Amino acid sequence: MTSNGSKPKVLIVDDDNSMRGLLKARLSDLYDVVDTGDPEQALGLALEHKPAAIMLDLMMPKFSGFELCQNIHSLSYTSRIPIFMVTGESAAKYKEHCRALGATDFFEKPVDFARLRERLATELQDKKVDRRAHVRVKMRVVLKLQGSDADGKAFEQSTFTENVSVGGFLGGCTASLVKDARVKVFLTTGGKDYYAGTAKVVRREAPGAPWQRYGFQFEETTADWVLQP
């Protein structure tokens, strides 16, 4: 691990020493790297260091990448950390399942390091913009969401939020949604629905629960949204 505190911190979890060393060598010029070959240490390191991103091997002894990804996203303290799955397994076989568990992206071995570095830079820049974007306001708002779930099935559901901003909101939904899924958002008031804009899922806070909470970020809003810039 480097000591340069100005670099974003990245956690690498992989029981393959050579792969872990290669990832560290390719990323340490831009990132402060923390790494472990023991998946049992991964959650503790994530809680201790609160890394800007996590590189996670899919197949490891004791704990699989699936379990770790779900555990990391189930804790509010680590739920917003982007996770990049790195594996020798087929992307077609596991990619969508990883996304449903909260993974940001999926990389097959041998890793395309140019794409990995590009995706890391983009994701961390987006997080900086999101942190600065808008102050959250505690306000109960009744909404209707329309979109397609993780299986491609159309849904329409009434819900509510008590956490809103100019640029998004946090709300519950029984439909299973994957990261970056788009929904149409309607503001329900006085028995009528008013189109408020289109939003995408940027995180989910309770994977596997019957009623899940998602963080939504607007891609565009109308004058009917409750908060205006």
Q: Is the pTM of this model over 0.85?
A: no
The answer to the question of residue 229 being in a domain is no
Specify whether 76 is located in the same domain as 168. no
Specify whether 113 is located in the same domain as 160. no
The answer to the question of residue 102 being in a domain is yes
Cβ density class 107-143: b for 16+ within 10 Å, e for less: bbeebeeeebeebbeeebeebeebeeebeeeeeebeb
The answer to the question of residue 228 being in a domain is no
Asked if residues 126 and 168 have their Cβ atoms less than 8 Å apart, the reply is no
How far apart are alpha carbons 1 and 56 in whole angstroms? 17
Eight-state DSSP code of residue 52: S
Residue with tokens 């041998």: 110
How far apart are alpha carbons 102 and 69 in whole angstroms? 7
Specify whether 195 is located in the same domain as 89. no
Structure tokens at 1: 């691990």
Tens of pLDDT, residue by residue, the chain (229 residues): 333 457 899 999 998 899 999 999 999 999 999 999 988 888 889 888 889 999 998 888 777 788 888 788 777 678 778 899 888 776 567 777 777 777 888 888 888 999 999 999 888 876 655 554 456 778 889 999 999 998 999 999 999 998 888 889 988 888 888 888 999 999 998 889 999 999 999 887 755 566 688 989 999 999 899 887 7
Specify whether 119 is located in the same domain as 149. no
Specify whether 83 is located in the same domain as 148. no
Residue 161 lies in domain: 141-221
Check whether the bond before 51 is cis (ω within 30° of 0): no
Tell which residue, 168, 108, 177, has the closest CA to residue 146. Answer: 177
Domain boundary pick from 71, 102, 132 = 132
| Burial bucket for residue 157 (CB in 10 Å: 0-12, 13-18, 19+) | middle
